[in-house]
Amino acid sequence: MSKQDKTVIGWREWVRLPALGQAVIKAKIDTGARTSALHAYFVEPFELEGRTWVRFGLHPRQKDTNVQIECEAPVIDQRRVTDSGGHAEMRYVIATTLVLGEEAFEAEITLTDRENMLFRMLLGRGALKPRFLVDSDQSFVIGGTKFQPPGETS
């Protein structure tokens, strides 16, 4: 895919997660992170038909714990992830569909508690390649208020 074929996005964008309760989340685009990360305030592994799955709770809105979505997804991996502060933890990894603007695509996402973080989701470079170019001067270039939940501010 050539540079001209890629969609330009800003440093933060609205992302829809159709397989996870149609959640709409304001995500920070993080080209320094390999894998995307999603806020999960609880994570419970369980077995289903011989596979490991996780059930987890999601607060999709910043600074709002009233809106809750309970999700389930098969686990594709467990990885040791080191955050920008140097803290390492084992995280469950799921694969799910993301919708960013008009594009829908599958991405790997780690589940972690981001309750005290400004953004409930980080979109890492693994999900961005080869589709997007990031313009760090802009915000909400695609999707915009189309995905923005009522009452949520940019």
Report the CATH number at residue 57. Answer: 2.40.70.10
**Full residue range of the structural domain in which residue 19 is found:** 3-146
Distance CA 46, CA 37 (A): 21
Query: Percent of the chain having pLDDT more than 90?
Result: 66
Residue 149 DSSP class: P
154 domain-assigned: no
Coil, helix or strand at residue 90: strand
153 domain-assigned: no
- Could you tell me which residue, 2 or 20, shows the higher pLDDT? 20
Query: Percent of the chain having pLDDT more than 70?
Result: 90
69 domain-assigned: yes
pTM for this predicted structure: 0.88
Contacts (Cβ under 8 Å, ≥6 apart) of 77: 92, 93, 108
pLDDT of residue 148: 59
103 domain-assigned: yes
Q: What is the mean pLDDT of residues 44-67?
A: 92
48 domain-assigned: yes
Distance CA 140, CA 48 (A): 38
152 domain-assigned: no
Residue whose C-alpha is closest to residue 123's, from 50, 53, 26: 26
Q: 121: pLDDT confidence band, cut at 50, 70 and 90?
A: very high
Q: What is the mean pLDDT of residues 133-146?
A: 83
Q: What is the mean pLDDT of residues 37-59?
A: 95
138 domain-assigned: yes
151 domain-assigned: no
Q: What is the count of structural domains for the chain?
A: 1
